[in-house]
Amino acid sequence: MNAWLEVDISAIRRNVAAVRSLVGSRVQVMAIVKADGYGHGAVRAARAALTGGASSLGVANAAEGAELRAAGIDAPILVLGCGLPEQMPEVVARGLMQTLATEGVARALSQAATAARCEAGVHIKVDTGMGRLGVRPHEALAFARLVSNLPGLRIEGVFSHLATADHDDVTYAREQAARFEEVLTNFERAGVRTPLRHLANSAATIRFPEMRLDMVRTGLLTYGLNPLSSPLTEIELVTALTWKSRIACIKEVDAGERLGYAGLHVTERPTRIACVPVGYADGYPRALSNAGWVLVGGQRCAVVGAICMDQMLVDVGGVAAQPGDEVVLIGEQMGRRITANDLADAQGTVVHEVVARLGHRPPRIYLNEEPSPEATQ
């Protein structure tokens, strides 16, 4: 294998259990397994999260939910995306819960559920300031009444999403929470029943205990990734993912040599350059050209030159490295660590993007995995 991912399933179980302990027995945990389980593998991540105590799962679209159902997972699954009217028969057929934010999708889901002679569970999405999916707060009550009157639909929850839960300034997050609370009050006064009220993502789960409500939706925390810019003290997480490769070859180069596409790096001294068979097609961001680091022999070694589609160059001049030696792109080696957060910071993005962009080319090796229930039957 040129490169591979090692996913510690026990870490996912432990992380969800830690979230459960943090929020208490009265608050449910929805584990977010969209984008192939944040690059960890959706089916296995979902099973581990449920074993760890998650009560439900969150996906982006009906196709992701269908994958979990096909694997035999029968837990409640919420499609977080609004979806399209033509996708509603699939939602019903797979027994998924659907986020509703438009009348068109609500009516299409009602028609699909009625045709199938069943009820479809729905969660109403309120846009309290994110600007994406969701009905406006002043429209929420009328929309909830419309949904309540449509045959075949059962309101199981209402939620919103915070735009700045991970920012130092908490003002806007609290404003969003206040808008959501007003919507909930209006629902209660009007007798609109919404069994599950949820607002908190991973960052808010840590920072704002008052926003946990009936359920929290945890993506990053599920995989042991820090949603904040400061170290976590409220919860102990275990990173689930390690990304490894091996050195393909090493060349001796002189000072002044140009390396890679566009000669993006010029060596300042005689050194040794290793070629590592990992590139942006594997999910290693091209934005880390001349800016990334990997671990070789327990030492941080600089990525030099442009990241290629299938390869990268690493300066190993200070390490007694040889072809075939292990390279760690994310993870620990001899007591040193490079985290997904480190890669995100180096390219000015969020950690979600780093793991979500991990494609299917690097194979996943699953560690500490319990046999699935269907495998033992």
Residues known to be catalytic: 34, 261
Q: Are 260 and 280 in contact (CB under 8 A)?
A: no
Q: Are 46 and 70 in contact (CB under 8 A)?
A: no
Distances (CA, A) of 6 to 16, 306, 335: 19, 26, 17
Reference 346, options 284, 281, 280; nearest CA is 284
DSSP string, 98-136: EEE-SHHHHHHHHHHHHHTTS-EEEEEEB-SSS-SSSB-
CB atoms within 10 A of CB 32: 26
Altogether, the residues listed in the chain come to a count of 377
3-class DSSP assignment, residue 75: coil
CB atoms within 10 A of CB 66: 17
Q: Phi/psi of residue 152, each to 5°?
A: 85, 0
